[in-house]
């Protein structure tokens, strides 16, 4: 089975996978959950020959840098999240605070 997979399997070259990983950006209408899944999937493929911790570190950085909301991405990245879960929680908190601060006070 392994020989057949090596011969006929459609395995992406590491350089191609890394290029796709570097070029990816969050698209309009893509949720944070879907964006994080996409980044983690691409990182796992791009860095399959390297330790998982390295792929995770790269994925977290790309998650922040590739966000549509560049200001939020910078804010989260500067907090140095250590996992995708941390980055997503920081992003959600940032979004919540931004919307709470931007809300107009109600009439009494």
Structural domains in the chain (count): 1
Residue 6 lies in a domain: no
Question: Mean pLDDT, to the nearest integer, of 77-84?
Answer: 96
- Quote the tokens at residue 17: 């996978």
Domain membership flag for residue 5: no
Q: Which domain holds residue 20?
A: 12-102
Is 51 inside any structural domain?
yes
CA–CA–CA angle 17, 18, 23 (5° rounding): 100
Radius of gyration of the CA atoms of the chain, in A: 18
Confirm whether 24 is domain-assigned.
yes
Q: Which long-range contacts (C-beta less than 8 Å, at least 24 apart) are formed by 41-46? A: 42/17, 45/12, 45/17, 45/21, 46/14, 46/17, 46/18, 46/20, 46/21
Which pLDDT does position 14 carry in this prediction?
80
Question: pLDDT-derived band of residue 2, with 50, 70 and 90 as boundaries?
Answer: low
Is 4 a member of any domain? no
Distance CA 69, CA 32 (A): 11
pLDDT digits (tens, 9 = 90+) for 82-99: 999 999 999 999 999 988
């Amino acid at each position: 089975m392994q020989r057949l997979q090596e011969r006929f399997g459609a395995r992406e070259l590491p350089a191609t996978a890394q290029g796709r990983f570097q070029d990816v950006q969050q698209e309009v209408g893509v949720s944070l959950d879907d964006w994080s899944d996409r980044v983690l999937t691409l990182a796992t493929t791009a860095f399959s020959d390297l330790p998982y911790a390295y792929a995770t570190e790269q994925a977290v950085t790309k998650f922040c840098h590739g966000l549509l909301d560049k200001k939020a991405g910078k804010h989260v990245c500067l907090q140095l999240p250590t996992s995708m879960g941390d980055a997503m929680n920081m992003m959600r908190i940032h979004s919540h605070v931004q919307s709470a601060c931007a809300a107009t006070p109600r009439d009494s």
